[in-house]
A and B are shown apart, each in its own frame.
Chain A
Amino acid sequence: MSNAVIRKTLISIAVAGAATLAQAEVVIGVAGPHTGAYAAFGEQLWKGAEQAAKDINAAGGIDGEMIKLVKADDACEPKQAVSVANRLVDSDDAIAVIGHFCSSSTQPASNIYAEAGVLMVTPASTNPTITDRGLPNVFRVCGRDDQQGQVAASYIVDTLKAKRVAIIHDKDTYGKGLADAMKLSLNNKGSTEVMYEGLTRGEKDFNALVTKIRSVNADVLYFGGLHSEAGPLVRQLREQGSKAIFMSGDGIVSDEFVTVAGGPQYVDGVMMTFGADPMSYPAGKSVVKEFQANGYEPEGYTLYSYTAMQVTAAALSHTNLDPIKAAEWLHANSVDTVMGKKSFDEKGDLTVSDYVMYEWNDKGKYIQQN
């Protein structure tokens, strides 16, 4: 299905919905770390949502009403997340929110949206607890850490046939959640890790840890965390002469991973789990081209954010802009997006996990493994 077809369906939906309300705008919040240490991810969320809103508005908006985006900065601090969530609900009258990024921010904020009956679709928070609490209005268009861990564990045991696995995490909600999920799947497969430890986010010297990894003779090093730590870690691993296979999750999906690792020669052979390549969907391809035409490389969570906006718009347009009904609608129906057809289970998770294994090459690009 091409982008044009999606647009056509959206227009027909809009016409069929026959806007009855007199409002001219639909306010949707884009919440994430727009400042602070994770601001790069906040930018991805914003760019994706912005482009999606632009495309939807160009096609006539939701029920003929234009989407107005509000940037809400939580800096990945739970304290600020509560504050901006209340602000979005209260002062900005947002009826839906795309966000947040960090799971630790999404969790307290989602309570506020649930109370206010606001639809929340997170493009990036993969921690299982986000949807496991059974809030009716919470959805995510990314996978769950336990699904990701499963894919990684079966690859290690079945494909690589590795016996000695070391697990490192960054002591953060995302990284530790991912590492724990992977550990659980690994143990279920009858394999035990040789090492399980955390490193401190923000540090760049992991030599002591690397020496320890060397001392346990690990075949595979699984890292739960982001590229800011993964880069120096893999480089120091190679510099100390270890040949263990480095594997991680979707937190390292960024060209910056190559930059911080000191060049493509260090990321060569790094494995990672990530959603199926959006370029493999025709609709995704044209949107990626659109981004590139505007001089922006849609990496990481940009397209997830785009997808989240499409899902939100589709649900709202089917339910006359009633976010509570929209949430019910989403639990029952599926939506065509740039990343394929998305449908949600009763918790708000995607019904189909699309994680696959990628491998980085010596050019600093990642390629899907089969």
Chain B
Amino acid sequence: MDIVLQQLVNGLTLGSVYGLIAIGYTMVYGIIGMINFAHGDVYMVSAYLTAISIALLTFFGVQSFPFIIFGALVFTIVITGAYGWVIERVAYRPLRNSSRLSVLISAIGMSLILQNYVQLSQGPNQQGVPTLLSGAFRFYVGDGFVQITYMKVMILLIAFTGMAVLTYIIQKTKLGRMCRATQQDRKMASILGIDTDKVISSVFVIGSAMAALAGVLVTLDYGAFDFYIGFIMGIKAFTAAVLGGIGSLPGAMLGGIILGLSESLFAGLVSSDYKDVFSFSLLVLILIIRPSGLLGKPAVEKV
């Protein structure tokens, strides 16, 4: 019993991280219909930025944990957002009128660029951040116990707060309305006076910022990263986005959590060798039953 509960906790935290990164995929897909393969590497860049900001802050004598995490969050989110903006400007905007596959190849190229640029600048080594917050809540269940570190509690809190803020922005603000309008019909939106280029740029910035949020949290929690982490995380997050229905914000979060839970439970109760096989099979199965994901709108076939 305690083991199953512990696996649920593991899956939930992992899933919320997947969900945060999946948002970047789902928003970009929703608005310009492209798979942004470089998104996982944007997350990787944010992990480096987190470590750099922590190193800088401790160097300048900041010791208290709240200040460090606040500083790291602001620094990382701002600069990762800038990365999102620059990547869109340089690699995707010139291809706005081309076929979607050309943009896909450009994105794969961008992903290679980011990985190798970071490797060349920072060296190929494994990197890490010191443990800033240790300790855990422990709940006794029957004979065993369930343990949740403070860091994991913080991940859940910040991830869900981030989601709530984003939902508010998309639903209630002017920028959100412009995003939704552009998503529905880009041409019509531009006729109505919306600067769609600007909206697309801001979507990239928002998506990158969410990836940065995940980057800070994951880096603080696992404490280890290298220039290659973006790839696996990117594929997992993209799977989550598709699972939940690509283009749908709640879908991304739901997909992330389902993926995280299924991975943890399968690895814990059956075999960790085949856990990825299981997640991909689950994805195929869900897509066969619901071809546009769990919360996605079914594609309307034109006649």
Q: Do chains A and B touch in the complex (CB under 8 A)?
A: yes
Residues of A within 8 A of B (CB): 35-40, 42-43, 171, 197-200, 202-205, 207-209, 211-212, 214-215, 227-228, 231-232, 235-236, 239-241, 254, 256, 259-263, 265-266
Select one of B6, B129, B263, B271 contacting A211, CB under 8 A: B6
Bound form: Cα–Cα A228–B134 in Å:
21
User: When the two chains form their complex, are residues A265 and B131 in contact, meaning their CB atoms are under 8 A apart?
Assistant: yes
Question: B residues 203-239 with Cβ under 8 Å of A?
Answer: 218, 222-229, 231-232
Q: Is B99 an interface residue (CB 8 A)?
A: no
A sample of 12 cross-chain residue pairs with beta-carbon separation below 8 angstroms, ordered by A number, consists of A42-B124, A198-B272, A202-B228, A205-B14, A211-B268, A212-B272, A231-B128, A232-B224, A235-B224, A254-B126, A256-B128, A262-B130
Bound form: Cα–Cα A83–B200 in Å:
43
Bound form: Cα–Cα A232–B14 in Å:
14
Q: Is B264 an interface residue (CB 8 A)?
A: yes
Select one of B14, B116, B128, B232 contacting A259, CB under 8 A: B128
Residues of B within 8 A of A (CB): 3, 6-7, 10-11, 13-14, 116, 119, 123-131, 134, 136, 138, 144-145, 147, 149, 218, 222-229, 231-232, 263-265, 267-268, 271-273, 275-276
Bound form: Cα–Cα A205–B149 in Å:
14
Chain B residue nearest in CB terms to A197: B272
Bound form: Cα–Cα A39–B120 in Å:
10
Chain A residues near B228 (CB-CB < 8 A): 37, 202
Interface centre among A207, A231, A262, A263 (most CB of B within 10 A): A207
User: When the two chains form their complex, are residues B273 and A171 in contact, meaning their CB atoms are under 8 A apart?
Assistant: yes
Chain B residues near A265 (CB-CB < 8 A): 131
User: When the two chains form their complex, are residues B273 and A235 in contact, meaning their CB atoms are under 8 A apart?
Assistant: no
Chain A residues near B131 (CB-CB < 8 A): 235, 262-263, 265-266
The 6 nearest A-B residue pairs measured at CB: A39-B124, A262-B223, A260-B224, A259-B128, A207-B10, A208-B267
Select one of B10, B123, B222, B232 contacting A208, CB under 8 A: B10
Chain A residues near B222 (CB-CB < 8 A): 204-205, 232, 235-236, 262
- Given A239-B136, A261-B224, the answer on whether A200 and B276 have CB atoms closer than 8 Å is yes
- Given A207-B14, A208-B7, the answer on whether A43 and B224 have CB atoms closer than 8 Å is no
Bound form: Cα–Cα A227–B131 in Å:
17
User: When the two chains form their complex, are residues B149 and A232 in contact, meaning their CB atoms are under 8 A apart?
Assistant: no
Chain A residue nearest in CB terms to B219: A204
Minimum Cβ distance to chain A for residue B135 (Å)? 9
Bound form: Cα–Cα A276–B128 in Å:
28
Chain A residues near B144 (CB-CB < 8 A): 215
User: When the two chains form their complex, are residues B125 and A256 in contact, meaning their CB atoms are under 8 A apart?
Assistant: yes
Chain B residues near A204 (CB-CB < 8 A): 218, 222, 224-225, 229
Chain B residues near A207 (CB-CB < 8 A): 10, 13-14, 264
Chain B residues near A209 (CB-CB < 8 A): 267-268, 272
Chain A residues near B145 (CB-CB < 8 A): 241
Chain A residues near B129 (CB-CB < 8 A): 262
Bound form: Cα–Cα A197–B131 in Å:
28
Bound form: Cα–Cα A256–B3 in Å:
32
Chain B residue nearest in CB terms to A169: B273
Chain A residue nearest in CB terms to B11: A208
User: When the two chains form their complex, are residues B223 and A260 in contact, meaning their CB atoms are under 8 A apart?
Assistant: yes
Minimum Cβ distance to chain A for residue B101 (Å)? 25
- Given A200-B232, A207-B10, A240-B147, the answer on whether A231 and B267 have CB atoms closer than 8 Å is no
Chain A residues near B272 (CB-CB < 8 A): 197-199, 208-209, 212
- Given A208-B272, A239-B149, A262-B223, the answer on whether A39 and B11 have CB atoms closer than 8 Å is no
Bound form: Cα–Cα A39–B115 in Å:
13
Chain B residues near A266 (CB-CB < 8 A): 131
Minimum Cβ distance to chain B for residue A25 (Å)? 29
Chain B residues near A240 (CB-CB < 8 A): 6, 147
Bound form: Cα–Cα A260–B272 in Å:
22
Chain B residues near A263 (CB-CB < 8 A): 130-131, 223
User: When the two chains form their complex, are residues B268 and A208 in contact, meaning their CB atoms are under 8 A apart?
Assistant: yes
User: When the two chains form their complex, are residues A235 and B6 in contact, meaning their CB atoms are under 8 A apart?
Assistant: no
Chain A residues near B227 (CB-CB < 8 A): 37
Bound form: Cα–Cα A326–B147 in Å:
60
- Given A202-B231, A263-B130, A266-B131, the answer on whether A228 and B224 have CB atoms closer than 8 Å is yes
Minimum Cβ distance to chain B for residue A100 (Å)? 16
Minimum Cβ distance to chain B for residue A234 (Å)? 11
Minimum Cβ distance to chain A for residue B9 (Å)? 8
Chain B residues near A261 (CB-CB < 8 A): 128, 223-224
Select one of B11, B125, B271 contacting A40, CB under 8 A: B125
